[in-house]
Structure 1
Amino acid sequence: MAAQAKQDMLNKVRNQDGFIAALDQSGGSTPKALKLYGLEESAWSNDDEMFNLVHQMRSRIVTSPAFTGERILGAILFEDTLDRQIEGKASSRYLWETKHVVPFLKVDKGLAEEADGVQLMKPIPGLDALLAKANDQGVFGTKMRSVIKQANVEGIRAVVQQQFEVGKQILAAGLVPIIEPEVDIHCPQKSEAEALLKQAILAELDKLDDSQKVMLKLTLPDVDNFYRDCIEHPNVIRVVALSGGYSREEANDMLSRNHGMIASFSRALTEGLSARQSDQDFNQKLDQAVESIFQASRS
Structure 2
Amino acid sequence: MSSATASWRRLALACTALAAAAAGAGVLWPALPGLGGVEAAGPVLQQARLNGVLHVALRSYARPSLPGHPLPPESDVYDRALADWLGRELGTRVSITPESDADLVLEGMSSLDGPSEPDRQTGGSYMPQTLQLLVLKQQASRWSRHAPGHWASWLPHVAQKNAPQPTACVARGQASARTLQAQGLHPLFAPSSIHAVSDFLAGRCHVLAESPEVIARLLQQDSWRFYAPLGSRFRISDQAHIRLSRADAQSARWLRNAVQRWQRSGLQQRAQDNRVSTIALEATLLEDGAICH
Q: With CA pairs under 8 Å and 6+ residues apart, which has the higher RCO, 1 or 2?
A: 2
- The structure having more radius of gyration, on CA atoms, is 2
Tell me if both proteins adopt one fold, taking TM over 0.5 as the criterion.
no
TM-score tier by shorter-chain length is under 0.3
TM-score, normalised to structure 2, is 0.26
